[in-house]
Structure 1
Amino acid sequence: MVAEQVPAAVEEPTAEQDTLPAVEPEKDTVVEEVVEEPVPSIDLSSPELYINRHLSHLHFNIRVLEQALDERYPLLERLQFLLIFSSNLDEFFEIKVAELQRQVRFGREKVGPDGLQPHEVLRRIREMCHEQTKRQYEILNDTLIPQLQTENIRFLRRREWTKAQREWIREYFFNTLMPVMTPIGLDPAHPFPRLVNKSLNFIVALEGKDAFGRDSGMAIIPAPRSMPRLIRLPDELCRGGDNLVFLSSVIHAFADELFPGMEVLGCYQFRLTRNADLDFDSEEVDDLARALKGELQHRQFGQAVRLEVADNCPEDMIAFLLKEFGLGETELYKVNGPVNLTRMGAVRELVNRSELSYASFSPGLPKRLRDRKSMFETLRQRDLLLQHPFESFTPVVDLLREAARDPKVLAVKQTLYRTGNNSEIVAALIEAARNGKEVTAVIEIRARFDEENNLKLASLLQEAGVVVVYGVVGYKTHAKIMMIVRQEDNELRRYVHLGTGNYHQGTARVYTDYSLLTADQEVGEDVHKIFQQLTGMGKILRLSKVLNAPFSLHPKMVEFILREMRHAQAGKDAHIIIKVNSMTEPRLIRTLYRASQAGVKIDLIVRGMCSLRPGVPGVSENIRVRSIIGRFLEHSRVCYFLNDGASEIYAASADWMERNMLYRVETCFPMEPLRVAPRVKKDLDLYLEDNTQAWELQQDGSYVRVQMQEGEEPISAQQILLERLAAAAN
């Protein structure tokens, strides 16, 4: 499982929003009017009914860290969970903590539905992060490293080096490291260097004078960013097994070689985390791509937000660093181990121990695709639903590749949010353009941490003749849609892919997502209109089947919930199941509260942030919230409404957050009721039955791991889907 580099955007409003954005459609032409019920006696906007989104996000990361202690996972996978926690926490500080600090610093504190002031949220975050960071290193040092050592995977400390090993490491230092290192003595001519975000550095205490008579007593050693943080020792120098040395240990051991004639009194590693969000007003720029390029240059040198330092570093040197970075004691994290834990992920490449990792698998392929000659012919027969990563993403690529080479295909249009390097999707788009197709790519260049890649992608596609547009200013294009226009007999037919995930073949192997491939003409017409809105200009267009943000999606979800509430009030069975990554949008939460009060059974499967507070008497007794943390990152968004027996199921690219519902371009598409929908409902039921990887949200905002009851069989939704779909018929 990896952490989605999609965690939340700065433009997300933190204050409660009850209205749609300025582009809200006219209700009588686009979206059915939602008739509000009488205001309930309990104030459903009361702050006590909402969990702070940032604290909820931290609880998700804690659940990830807990997996490192779960002995049901292979040992190297447990290490990976610990490193994912570290990576997630880095991004949490870079984006969320940085934004809260900025609000406090400039006196512009925004209060969310939970009523907590940002300075109070920051205080609670610091308490939790200090506790969990300490715990993370305890798990690493006291549990994982000793267990890895029993498997003959050793991280050798300096005191453990043999004479032969030390000589080899010394040669490595002089021949590989030293030529690319730049130690910086601190004096008036060499002020404190501008250090890159999250880079590994060392502060060194010195004694003596150098060749120029300088004796400042202090220096900084930036570790070369191009060098690996883990080094494997040659097998012939070791007593068997896999023997690794940290780069930090090598620099510590030979730091004196960088300051000839001087005495190194101490060498201590540290790492600075900076604000990594991009800060520019897209409404005020003439060329979004050019402005973004300029801003990317500053990302590595944003405002300091956290200092991690070795716990044996002297207090005076720590005070010096804090003063240099403008940080206080509360932003200081003393750690007992490497400050850059994420880079330990290289251990999986340095050791060949497949028995300590997940068993490999091949994604499955539906029977009807195994002998097919044409994806177009297959989709004309009926829709195709794929569930990744259990089923292959290849059919999506195959459809696009076939379109690129088919003389009957006239046009291809696609949104691109994240694609990855060496993407077959991108290659197929380029091939289509070079084969004379009209190819349009809507690229979201503001996809966080993929901005630079997407700018390069845009240039690459433009050079091949693809028409590239950047969506709509002020609204990120987060929808995952692809449309192929094909001449068949005397008519044009549209073939469409809609997904809950990205067009990224790497994440398709580790994220759980749905892909719907269809030749349904109403869906095709809807997607055509969405592309018209993205690339052109004009009034809002009515859609037949597909819901879209920021127009119809939010009001329709409110309408569907209220419809379920009316069924319950009429004495009928009423049930809602929502599976999303995050749930923070206040109006949707209030509407769910009202449905619960009316007796609607509500099951929420929310992987990460959840601001809804379940189990509150008189408000949410009928709401259950669970989170699934496992081998794969739960990423699909699905909504189920019983609707008095005429059930409806939708899958979407959108989470139930303000940013997705009101400030992004998203799609939400229906599942065909006869064949596709029952399968999706069966999947949802499986997640609700999971008793091995599920956590339940408590009324106080904490999570408790679901325990198997006596006599129960273990149920892991992910494992069952893997066995059912991977490399098997469906």
Structure 2
Amino acid sequence: MLVNKVSDQIKKSKLISRDLSWLRFNYRVLDQARDTAKNFFDRIKFLAITSSNLDEFFMIRVGSLYNYIDYGKERLDYSGLRELPFRKKLLDYAHRFVNDQYLTFNSELKPLFEQHGFDVLKIEELSEAEQKKADTYFKNTVFPLLTPMVYDTYHGFPLLMNQLLTFGVVTRTTEDAKAQDRVTFVQIPQNLARFFEINRKDKIVFVPIEEIVRWKIKKLFRNVEIVSANLFRITRNGDFTLEESDDIDADFVQEIKAKLRTRKKGRVVRLEVERNPSHYLMKILKERWVIDNANVFTISTLMDLRALWQILNHRQFRDKRPKPHPSVLPISMPMDGVDLFEYLKDHDVLLHHPYNSMEPVVNLLERAAEDPSVLGIKQTIYRLADQSRVTAALLKAAENGKHVSVLFEVKARFDEERNLREGDRLEKAGCFVIYGISKYKTHTKMLMIIRKEGEKVTRYVHIGSGNYNEQTARMYTDISLLTTNELYAHDVSEFFNVITGHSRPDEYKILLTSPNSMRTQLIELIRWEARNAKKGLKSGIVIKINSLEDRETIEELYKASKAGVTIKLIVRGICCLRPGREDLSDNISVKSIVGEHLEHARIYYFHNNGDPKVYGGSADIMVRSFDRRIEALFLMVNEDIKQEAINILYYNLLDNQNSYIMREDGTYYKKKPTANEDIVDVHRLFFSKNCREPQEVELV
């Protein structure tokens, strides 16, 4: 009865739960691992990604839910459910996902390992000679790193680290018949390779490190009886919200460092454990962490599928994965090797990554670092590559006496420590470094190079949707603009003054910014389309984003749909809007594109009665984007650049190889071309010049 009531409540809601929508997104990623048409190693990659995704989901989203439950705060989900009913619904759905995830691994992928040149085996499946190698590895490398941590009346419960494989070993002293069982925890250090590798003539054998430890566990427990030894893994709450403070003397960097330390002690929100664990062990763990069966996930085989990355990155298999398609020249910069300082004086350049390389941006920054005419560089940084050329260029610029100011966002989730470290390097080199703005997360991506050219100063601007990360730029689809147009230069200069100083610009000319006005300006653009529709004028909205969650904006989209506006949404991940509901969203369609590249570009199109307004930038339609982040969307004023962006939307709408169509109930189905349709795969098509040429196309 309660189940039916919960289901009815979810169906009645005008909005879809953000968290349930996210789990459906991870199902679309899992679908890539199930796709037999894909390269086998790519299928393994997608399965590993689902595991990483789920870890973050539990740390952040489930962690956030427990912040309400643990502290007695009320929370009403978009589905209409309160905290505890929603917790049950969410964890039930997560259990179903994990079952399907491991069904894919065990039934669809693992049986194919051997024919692809490798296998994952247990100790008993090794030859005697191979077991000797494993034994030597244990003695020399593993054993010295293991530290048994006993828990009994004399020893407190040890701090078990987040997401590390752990054995819970129940022991009994054989001499004392009255002695009670005791539990000892043995964590496998994270700096050990997940697999011990053995080369055979016909294949590579990967032996899970936990199986070697299990095999030799008695070495840690001499003269005691081992009653049971069970492998488990915990996930802790990693969600923390920085408190807003008006104390201008507060050391914000130290606050971040303190928050990072709390992640190690966050409450446990998930316990993964192998089959048939000790009841005694489970009773202790559940009581200690205040969890129940809903938080416990039984794993039937390899625990933590992120381990598959070691196989994927093995030198033996590097050539077995599809090679990345070579990048092509941007439409707006058809010549290779141009002098960008000269070219940008007369041309704007739109880059569409990864189809266009990020090299023009990095090269421009590296040239600026050495160019004696460059006076200064200003940049926002959210995520960087390992051994970043961007950081190297900024360091070189500072060494060469240029003014360099950088805003490092130290609240970039899971990159906080790296950004603190890189910011410290730049500070020591003489750069002016700001570690974020305490109230807000700076998510916008901007670069400005100030160059003296004769009697005047030219400002070279780069603004886009992607991070300054050379590695992810080869995998993520993003857009960015290079320009010297004074409209952009003026607004970006003002924007830097706001985030690095104490300035409030009267009005931006081509930027929509948050947290001040982005939501209201986007809503006004939506309302303008609704007014046009009511007047019988042409109208339409096409938006491509990562996530759609802001309630106020969704309500305006519903109103525009009722007014007769055709609305086409391309939302990769979370979508809380219900498309196609009668008398609410009849004119709204939603699709998600998930495939070879991670869709990351944000493009907003408003028909405007035949004079389209098109914006690109860093912001999704989310509460956090509008209220808790510093974001920017830029208007495309160059007609050719605008048409390029429209073409990108057009082919994304046509895609029938990577697209999933959202139903009214929040579920998705894979789009397939009909007998009369051409195959359209945007992840391949955009490497072709023809589809990228500016041309007149109809979006709505």
TM-score (norm 1): 0.90
Residues 338-487 of structure 1: matches in 2 within 5 Å? 338-350=302-314, 352-354=316-318, 356-366=320-330, 368=333, 370-487=335-452
Match of 1:104 in 2: 69
Alpha carbons 1:154, 1:242 under 8 Å: kept:
yes
Alpha carbons 1:471, 1:535 under 8 Å: kept:
no
* Residue 692 of structure 1, CA deviation: 1.4
Match of 1:176 in 2: 141
* Residue 253 of structure 1, CA deviation: 1.2
Q: Deviations over 1:597-651 (max 9, x none)?
A: 1111110000111111011111111100000000111000000111111112110
Match of 2:103 in 1: 138
Match of 2:197 in 1: 232
Q: For 2:609, give the aligned amino acid.
A: D
Residues 270-289 of structure 1: matches in 2 within 5 Å? 270-283=232-245, 286-289=250-253
Q: Would you say 1:507 and 2:507 are equivalent positions? A: no
Query: How far, CA to CA, are the matches of 2:313 and 2:179 in structure 1?
Result: 44
Distance 1:91 1:544, change over 3 A: same
Tell me the SS of whatever aligns to 1:298.
helix
Q: For 1:362, give the aligned amino acid.
A: P
Q: Would you say 1:262 and 2:224 are equivalent positions? A: yes
Tell me the SS of whatever aligns to 1:56.
helix
Q: Would you say 1:251 and 2:233 are equivalent positions? A: no
Query: How far, CA to CA, are the matches of 2:579 and 2:693 in structure 1?
Result: 39
Q: Would you say 1:670 and 2:635 are equivalent positions? A: yes
Distance 1:689 1:141, change over 3 A: same
* Residue 259 of structure 1, CA deviation: 1.6
* Residue 173 of structure 1, CA deviation: 0.8
Query: How far, CA to CA, are the matches of 1:174 and 1:391 in structure 2?
Result: 50
Query: How far, CA to CA, are the matches of 1:269 and 1:690 in structure 2?
Result: 44
Q: Deviations over 1:500-555 (max 9, x none)?
A: 01111111111110110000011100000001111111333311112211223222
Q: Deviations over 1:3-38 (max 9, x none)?
A: xxxxxxxxxxxxxxxxxxxxxxxxxxxxxxxxxxxx
Match of 1:488 in 2: 453
Alpha carbons 1:390, 1:725 under 8 Å: kept:
no
Distance 1:532 1:643, change over 3 A: same
Out of 44, 56, 79, which is 2:44 matched to?
79
Distance 1:279 1:542, change over 3 A: closer
Tell me the SS of whatever aligns to 1:617.
coil
Structure 2 segments unaligned to the other structure (5+ residues): 1-10, 696-700
Alpha carbons 2:546, 2:574 under 8 Å: kept:
yes
* Residue 182 of structure 1, CA deviation: 1.1
Distance 1:579 1:164, change over 3 A: same
Match of 1:40 in 2: none
Query: How far, CA to CA, are the matches of 1:584 and 1:196 in structure 2?
Result: 33
Moved more, 113-122 or 448-457: 113-122
Residues 136-175 of structure 1: matches in 2 within 5 Å? 136-175=101-140
Distance 1:541 1:422, change over 3 A: farther
Query: How far, CA to CA, are the matches of 2:335 and 2:194 in structure 1?
Result: 44
Alpha carbons 1:362, 1:727 under 8 Å: kept:
no
Moved more, 278-287 or 633-642: 278-287
Out of 324, 331, 334, which is 2:295 matched to?
331
* Residue 152 of structure 1, CA deviation: 2.9
Q: For 1:536, give the aligned amino acid.
A: G
Q: For 1:374, give the aligned amino acid.
A: D
Match of 2:7 in 1: none
Q: Deviations over 1:574-616 (max 9, x none)?
A: 1210000000111111111111111111100001111110111
Moved more, 128-137 or 149-158: 149-158
Q: For 2:289, give the aligned amino acid.
A: F
Query: How far, CA to CA, are the matches of 2:32 and 2:303 in structure 1?
Result: 21
Alpha carbons 2:605, 2:613 under 8 Å: kept:
yes
Query: How far, CA to CA, are the matches of 2:213 and 2:687 in structure 1?
Result: 44
Query: How far, CA to CA, are the matches of 1:383 and 1:302 in structure 2?
Result: 48
Query: How far, CA to CA, are the matches of 1:539 and 1:678 in structure 2?
Result: 33
Structure 1 segments unaligned to the other structure (5+ residues): 1-45
Match of 1:26 in 2: none
Q: Deviations over 1:652-701 (max 9, x none)?
A: 10000011112211111122442111111111111111111111111111
Query: How far, CA to CA, are the matches of 1:344 and 1:354 in structure 2?
Result: 14
Alpha carbons 1:365, 1:728 under 8 Å: kept:
no
* Residue 197 of structure 1, CA deviation: 0.7
Q: Would you say 1:541 and 2:506 are equivalent positions? A: yes
Tell me the SS of whatever aligns to 1:61.
helix
Query: How far, CA to CA, are the matches of 2:513 and 2:242 in structure 1?
Result: 27
Distance 1:140 1:728, change over 3 A: farther
Query: How far, CA to CA, are the matches of 1:669 and 1:694 in structure 2?
Result: 27
Out of 562, 572, 581, which is 1:616 matched to?
581
* Residue 494 of structure 1, CA deviation: 0.8
Distance 1:324 1:239, change over 3 A: farther
* Residue 279 of structure 1, CA deviation: 4.7
Match of 2:283 in 1: 319
* Residue 727 of structure 1, CA deviation: 14
* Residue 712 of structure 1, CA deviation: 2.6
Query: How far, CA to CA, are the matches of 2:180 and 2:403 in structure 1?
Result: 68
Query: How far, CA to CA, are the matches of 1:590 and 1:727 in structure 2?
Result: 34
* Residue 67 of structure 1, CA deviation: 1.4
Q: For 1:269, give the aligned amino acid.
A: L
* Residue 455 of structure 1, CA deviation: 1.1
Distance 1:66 1:459, change over 3 A: same
Alpha carbons 1:416, 1:441 under 8 Å: kept:
yes
Alpha carbons 2:461, 2:484 under 8 Å: kept:
yes
Q: Would you say 1:223 and 2:185 are equivalent positions? A: no
Alpha carbons 1:361, 1:726 under 8 Å: kept:
no
Distance 1:115 1:727, change over 3 A: closer
Distance 1:397 1:239, change over 3 A: closer
Tell me the SS of whatever aligns to 1:675.
helix
* Residue 354 of structure 1, CA deviation: 4.4
Query: How far, CA to CA, are the matches of 2:429 and 2:690 in structure 1?
Result: 37
* Residue 280 of structure 1, CA deviation: 4.1
Q: Deviations over 1:260-301 (max 9, x none)?
A: 233434321100110112354241661110111122122122
Tell me the SS of whatever aligns to 1:283.
coil
Moved more, 322-331 or 506-515: 322-331
Q: Would you say 1:291 and 2:255 are equivalent positions? A: yes
Q: How many residues align structurally?
A: 681
Tell me the SS of whatever aligns to 2:567.
strand
Q: For 1:533, give the aligned amino acid.
A: V
Query: How far, CA to CA, are the matches of 1:321 and 1:115 in structure 2?
Result: 32
Residues 622-637 of structure 1: matches in 2 within 5 Å? 622-637=587-602
Tell me the SS of whatever aligns to 2:407.
strand
Residues 569-608 of structure 1: matches in 2 within 5 Å? 569-608=534-573
Match of 1:16 in 2: none
Tell me the SS of whatever aligns to 2:140.
helix
Query: How far, CA to CA, are the matches of 1:487 and 1:369 in structure 2?
Result: 27
Tell me the SS of whatever aligns to 1:297.
helix
- What is the root-mean-square deviation in Å for CA atoms of aligned residues? 2.3
Identity of aligned residues (%): 34
